[in-house]
Structure 1
């Protein structure tokens, strides 16, 4: 005789049978929970209203199991109404591997890979959702960081290309700054670069040559004519002492959100930038980081121009005396010769050597010798006209170009130098004499500057061999 199979669920509605059914359901749920815990970090069930009836996240989200029971899913997803796609806790269709950001108990966010299926009542009505989630926050954060890094890299690339599109890096900074402002939605901005040793006269010369300065240290500002609030922001930017801003600072001034950035660069005192906007919300840290990286690019461009100017200066000027060096003097005289030939004017070159200069170095040291050369350079510059040229050819040898002067004017000047000498102030006032060689150039000969220097130098050496303190003229001119 066959024994009938015992049904899985009791057929009676008696309290005993109902209790047995509940035990079966609880056992089934425990088996389901045990299995899903092997592969999932979060397990959940919701009812038809989207309230949690079961929730287990272990330590992944920081919520205790009972914290969310009976709570609406909006507590876990406060931004779900604005998020694209269906709410994974109230979905009416199966979800397989959807990424979803949820709120941890400490207020931070985690990214879950959600698998969920809707539940139905016996009548076919929606009864809730059962699902699980796998924590993929590390991968999501890495991908987000990578996306931000790529965005920053592309932004800096565009800024750099904008600067390179101009003939000079410095001229490319203003449009690049405005492009950065457009990227970040800024309504205004200012970039400062205070160059060491650049006084008001230097800044004025920058305005005349480059046309890119609008103030003593303002590289660029937009809009060009700012409001009183723009001026207030600029004043605050200037008030930051060097080193006070080691990271971008985000603040609010009246109705504007402002980023202040500061960059220390080697050959200028500092570079600082402020960007502001209104109505777009507070700047994010990513915005501030991009602005800071862009400022470093701008500062490098300013620094590069300063270095190029310093190299050009050192290539043509003597660093000890500030005079033109040999290369600079030859280049400047050569530039003037065609004009003198067209106007049928002569010119004269004086090569001046200090007598007994080596004795100062030997007796008082090289520092005293340097001070002597500086004082002599000042004396010679003050002894010529603004249209003439003065340079140091090397050692204790100087050159003076008397523009448009004939032999008689040059001879008179040479005689004055030799009679008066120069008084230099070292440990005690000391009078030095000059040995002067003179060479005059006529427009008819077309003589080169190299030939002129050779003749004047030979005349000066002959004076030194004769004891110094006099001048000698080389009257012979080379043929054209």
Structure 2
């Protein structure tokens, strides 16, 4: 299409790093300078006569058209930012200024490519967000959800997984997994393990796409399936080695990941690995402060927290609840005759059996030595605590094998009901403790220890 007016010094215009664009009143290009191809990927002859709006990112089209209409009323606009889709499918961030030429019935615009600046700003924001997430995330799952959201600001992440390496089991476990085609992590496990082996050996991210599969090493040519277009795997490198990996997938109807995406994700993955390690360490420290190291049952501090919460809930809902105080009879004899290792083994088995006797909503805690407390919440029957106590007696009464020795466990259990036997944490525990001691004193049957 011929330009409807003379453009002077076109040779000088083509030397400008910014693109000069002229659009007629119907919104079609009538002229673009040479820089247009460098910025957008299209040579001038491919866009002349075509609607400008077709190049604008779909999410920005409505706003761009509104601004164009305003310019055509005689209001010049300076430093407007929006996104365009390049010929290669990549997004270009553009800052442009434009005015309307009423005598020529065209919009004249200058477009500057600010994609690199925008990417740098986005990466800085992402790094800050990752650091913040590491401090505010409640647990690993919360952290992974936050990481997914942050990665989504950098590149398409509709199909995103985080896998952590279990050093003890020597296995790769998906800790977080989202897939738009509902493919389970189990279906993707084999491909993930191949990619993980590659990034562990190279300490570098790996990009596998179907269109260049034959150029890959044979060990990677079978990665993916008929739906996958690209796999992007990035190691989570920590001080002591690789702790896991990030996996992104695109499908035939999705984005095509690039080498630039790989480098971008490699850069931020270092901060993500640090955030994961910090959250894992915090979780371990928190667990150690709340759980008994031998039995992995809640300790006294966590028991009081849960008892306090349970009491508040029982008052609010006017529900019944109970506390059982349990002590093993003649536990000292096991330590004295069979050794402390056998005593520890006995306590671990008791903990396991006690958890089998209660609901998941109840709490079994070890508060010291051979003393255990069971917190029973939301009781529907007044005698439910007694039923649980009978079940515990029966379960603990089953013989226990400790190496070559068979041990018969006997226990004393005291019960305190809320609100009849107390309305505070300590009063309920004191009542249950006193009831347990009374039962122990009255017990005439001795605990029998026999050899197997």
Q: TM-score range by the shorter chain?
A: 0.5 to 0.7
**Distance in 2 between residues matched to 1:388 and 1:260, nearest whole Å:** 42
Aligned twin of 2:346: 372
Three-state SS of the structure 1 residue aligned to 2:154 is helix
Matched, 1:159 2:126: yes
Match of 1:115 in 2: none
2:204 and 2:439 mapped to 1: Cα distance?
A: 65
Q: Structure 1: give runs of 5+ residues left out of the alignment.
A: 1-81, 86-149, 200-214, 471-480
| Match among 342, 347, 358 for residue 384 of structure 1 | 358
- In structure 2, what is the Cα distance between the partners aligned to 1:83 and 1:344? 81
Q: 1:194 aligns with which of 164, 167, 170?
A: 164
In the TM superposition, what is the alpha-carbon distance from 1:254 to its structure 2 partner?
Answer: 0.4
- 8 Å CA contact 2:233, 2:245 repeated in 1: no
Structure 1 residue 326 displacement after superposition: 1.9
Checking the alignment, whether the CA contact within 8 Å between 1:234 and 1:274 is kept in structure 2 is: no
Q: For 2:263 and 2:209, how far apart are their aligned partners in 1? A: 17
Alignment match, 1:439 = 416
Q: How far, CA to CA, are the matches of 1:232 and 1:411 in structure 2?
A: 48
Match of 1:430 in 2: 407
Give 1:391 deviation, angstroms. Answer: 1.6
Structure 1 position 456 matched with structure 2 position 432: yes
CA contact (8 A) 1:192 1:220 kept: no
Structure 2 CA distance for aligned equivalents of residues 281 and 388 of structure 1: 49
2:234 corresponds to: 261
Name the residue aligned to 1:99: none
Which 10-residue stretch deviates more, 338-347 or 410-419? 410-419
**Range that drifts further, 247-256 or 300-309:** 247-256
Judge conservation of contact 1:389–1:402 (CA < 8 Å) in 2: yes
Q: Distance in 1 between matches of 2:336 and 2:368?
A: 18
Answer yes or no: is the 8 Å Cα contact 2:358–2:388 preserved in 1. Answer: no
Task: Write the deviation string for residues 135-176 of structure 1: whole angstroms up to 9, x where unpaired.
Answer: xxxxxxxxxxxxxxx999866532122335665343321122
Aligned-partner Cα distance in 2 for 1:196–1:281: 28
Aligned-partner Cα distance in 1 for 2:282–2:162: 19
CA distance in 1, matches of 2:257, 2:430: 73
Inter-partner Cα distance in structure 2 for 1:252 and 1:386: 46
- 1:180 — aligned with what? 154
Contact 2:236/2:272 (<8 A) preserved: no
Distance 1:232 1:179, change over 3 A: farther
Q: CA deviation at 1:431?
A: 0.3
Q: Tell whether the 8 Å contact from 2:162 to 2:174 is kept in structure 1 after alignment.
A: no
Shift, 1:460, TM fit: 3.3
Distance 1:385 1:252, change over 3 A: closer
| Cα pair distance change 1:179/1:413, threshold 3 Å | closer
The alpha-carbon distance between structure 1 residues 225 and 297, as it changes in their structure 2 partners (threshold 3 A), is farther
**TM-score of the superposition, structure 1-length normalised?**
0.50
Match of 1:254, SS state, is: helix
Q: How does 1:224-235 map to 2 (within 5 A)?
A: 224-225=180-181
Measure how far apart 1:376 and its partner are: 1.0
Given candidates 256, 259, 264, the residue that maps to 1:283 is 259
Kindly report the root-mean-square deviation, in angstroms, between the aligned alpha carbons of the 2 structures.
4.6
* CA distance in 2: counterparts of 1:259 and 1:345, whole angstroms: 53
Q: Distance in 2 between matches of 1:235 and 1:189?
A: 16
Asked if 1 retains the 8 angstrom alpha-carbon contact of 2:231 and 2:250, the reply is: yes
User: Which digits, 9 at most, give the CA deviation of each residue in 1:275-300, with x for residues without a partner?
Assistant: 7799999726xx65443221122223
SS in 2 for 1:321: coil
> Against the structure 1 CA distance between its residues 342 and 330, is the aligned structure 2 distance closer, same or farther, given a 3 Å change threshold?
same
SS at match of 1:437: strand
Distance change >3 Å, CA 344–CA 244, structure 1 → 2:
same
For residues 361 and 232 of structure 2, the distance between their equivalents in structure 1, rounded to whole angstroms, comes to 50
1:375 alignment partner, SS class: helix
- Asked if the contact 2:326–2:371 (Cα under 8 Å) also holds between the matched residues in 1, the reply is yes
Please give the residue correspondences for 1:310-349 in structure 2 after superposition, counting only pairs within 5 Å. 310-349=284-323
| Number of equivalent positions | 299
Deviation of residue 240 (structure 1)?
2.6
How far did residue 465 of structure 1 move?
A: 6.1
Q: Could you say if the C-alpha distance between residues 279 and 314 of structure 1 is closer, same or farther in structure 2, counting changes exceeding 3 Å?
A: closer
TM-score (normalised: structure 2): 0.52
Q: CA separation of 1:275/1:449 partners in 2, compared to 1, >3 Å: closer, same or farther?
A: same
> What displacement does 1:370 show?
1.9
Contact (CA 8 Å) 1:249, 1:261: kept in 2 or not?
Answer: yes
Match of 2:330 in 1: 356
In 1, the alpha carbon distance for the partners of 2:444 and 2:124 equals 64
Aligned equivalent of 2:4: none
Give distance in 2, aligned partners of 1:281 and 1:353: 62
- Distance change in 2, residues 1:446/1:310 (3 Å): same
Q: How much does 1:380 deviate?
A: 1.8
Equivalent in the alignment of 2:66: none
Once residues 320 and 254 of structure 1 are traced to their aligned partners in structure 2, the CA distance between those partners, rounded to angstroms, is: 54
Structure 1 residues 469 and 326: CA distance shift in structure 2, 3 A: farther
Alpha-carbon contact 1:258-1:276 (below 8 Å) kept:
yes
Helix, strand or coil: the match of 2:202? coil
